[in-house]
Structure 1
Amino acid sequence: MTENHPNSVRPHGADGHDYLPAAGRDALLPFYDLLTRALGMPKVYNNLIDQAEVADGMSVLEIGCGTGNLTARVHRAHPRAAVVGIDPDPRALARAERKVGVGNRIRFVRGYVQKLPFGADEFDRVLSSMMWHHLDREAKTTAASEILRVLRPGGSLHLVDIGGDMTPSDGFLAKRFLRSEHAAGNLGDAIPSLLRGVGFDCTTVASQRHRGVGRLTYYRAMRPAA
């Protein structure tokens, strides 16, 4: 759930990083997991995992993994799959490794979604939870191309974020996000359109009101089989 800007020369926020830390600021990181639980994210993670239909022997990548909550759930639900979490925030990754541990079937890597440190056709599934809205349009396009590159033919990206047909009737926070430049880049058909533009076959799986962010929308984007 962190912002990725590998080529940025401007610091983001008071901490002066070239990414948005998992909790927005380094000092808030100890409270990050509490916040995700308060926002009901465990249920969102479970929905995304179910949609991904992970099977034994698959290779799964989570981009913007933060402290590893979703990555760990995939590993627990599918211990015979190989799971990798990637994030630019070293503090979040250190917390993930302390909390989850690492082994033959789960590991954490520091890196940026715009320049994934993996080979072509390496993963069967890529997961993304609440990270996409942090990227600007150029970064989203680059990230989408990188995800397509590392997915095997027939593999799929499963993404959940602020998005879809959000309206002011979705609540107070929806009104705020409708005025946000980054969040606005997720709304309507923006995400499916961008993913299709780099070569994915993309569909909207579900969209629902959410008290924490206004509206959450789930997407499935398939890399066409060779």
Structure 2
Amino acid sequence: MSLLNQLFNRGVFGTRCKTCLNLAISRIKLLQNKRDMQLKQMCKEISQFLQAGQEAIARIRVEHIIREQNTWAAYEILELFCEFVLARVPIIENQRECPTELREAIASIIFAAPRCSDVPDLLHIKNLFTTKYGKEFVSAVSELRPDSGVNRTIIEKLSVSAPSGEVKLKVLREIAEEYNIAWDSSKTEAEFRKNHEDLLIFNKVYIGCRLPTQPSPFIWARDYVKIFNKEQHRQVYK
């Protein structure tokens, strides 16, 4: 038995895991309170833009609010998962494999760790579980392989993709209602619909071009634009 395994068998894993989990829970609580105040201030500013007729600014700023709301929701779930795992550290210590009932909680913490930079304790927890269950276990979770066990809401809330026009419109309406603003959303709704239609048209034209089936990952975006323009020229004058 290796020295590392001996140390873990003597309770070092349990002690360190409990410490990191407690720190993560405390830090998340503090961040939640801070983020809650920031969100209120941001929503108030958005309401002022809507009231002043500065909808273009409101449409841009609302994306940041949505990201903060998503992070807030993800942290709320992660806090519960950390508390759940903390209460079952003795079970984790005594079993070599990840207990089925803890798979979702542990996998979600591992997945979220590199995506939550303001909670560094999660990375320490991830490293502990990497030592406990091996790199393959962590890789399966990080890559979201089938049956990885990661909570679907955590995946959605920590996604870096831009929110849809529907989501942005919904949040803007909620802000207007909360601050009792008689806001006509038709202009913003038309703008979001226009952006969506432009994207659909671009995708249709883009897919129609004969681009390389397996482009090199080192080709810059401007090279794709050159290829795109050449293909369009060929199709017009063919």
Fold-level match, TM-score > 0.5? no
Quick check: which one's helix share is greater? 2
What interval of TM-score do these two structures reach, taking the shorter chain for normalisation? under 0.3
The TM-score, its normalising length taken from structure 2, stands at: 0.24
Choose 1 or 2 for highest CA Rg.
2
Quick check: which one's strand share is greater? 1
